[in-house]
Structure 1
Amino acid sequence: MKKIFSYSLIIITAVSFAACKVDDPFVDRVVAPVLVDIVGASFGAPLSGEPTVSYPASGKVTLTARLLELDKSGILDKNIGIDSIPVANIPMKITLRSGTALGETTSNAQGVVSLEKTWADLGVPTPKAGTVVKISWSGIHKGVAFTRLSQVQAK
């Protein structure tokens, strides 16, 4: 009787732990409607986590990105494949990750957004080689909000 009670208690405990549902925080994500290609980042940056662009520690910093929409209509044809189409007239908000707004701009006919700032505007009055500033690019396309993260580094 004691063994049956012990086994029953173990089974009930195991079932109660297995019944606990934990939501996966990554399941509800929506695919970004555009590819935000950070201009000046090293090769592979559009696919890597956080592209970094280096600028001289003295002078201006020009934050530039290209917005591209992927046309997958020819994906099954090896002669066509996936095409990147520039997306014009997308309002973009560029901020520091701390939440400080750097400015707003709209993509041109080639899908390019650009904003010129000084290091002081980026919160670094006297940058030294290796200083990193984290940037956030946000916009909305076809009703879907998207954000791209990048970094600016002093050289």
Structure 2
Amino acid sequence: DYKMSPERAKGEVLDRYVLTDKARFVGDAIAAVAATNEDIAEEALELIEVEYEKLPAVFDPIEAMKPDAPRIHDFAERNIARHMTYPFSKGDVEKGFKEADYVVEATFRTSKQKHCQLEHDSAIASFDASGRLTVWSPCTHVHLS
């Protein structure tokens, strides 16, 4: 159990802090306003004063996992929120290594990867003479209201 870690079974992320005393990234939500109308909300926003203290940062995942790296979340030792393993091996792995002609052990690095598909966020739509709507979109699903 990891307090404040993503709980995918419930379909929500539990580490969205509001009114926290530690902002973790630019744009982190640190305050909230509730009001009965937009004018009151705007006035309340003007009354909020925030003072920031610059914290040490880490930008490289390998550096972030070192024992002396700045902690992003206090619960996550070495900045690892959750250890996940899957039984991907099949057969006798150690025997396979012993019988292999070559075994290569190295660290490989790749360029930054987008966490989702590299598609354009766009769509094209057209009505034909009969009123039929056709939508062309690179995504796997389209929401129409």
Please state which structure has a larger fraction of its residues in strand.
1
Q: Which has the higher contact order (CA 8 A, sep 6+)?
A: 1
Please state which structure has a larger fraction of its residues in helix.
2
The reply to whether TM is greater than 0.5 is no
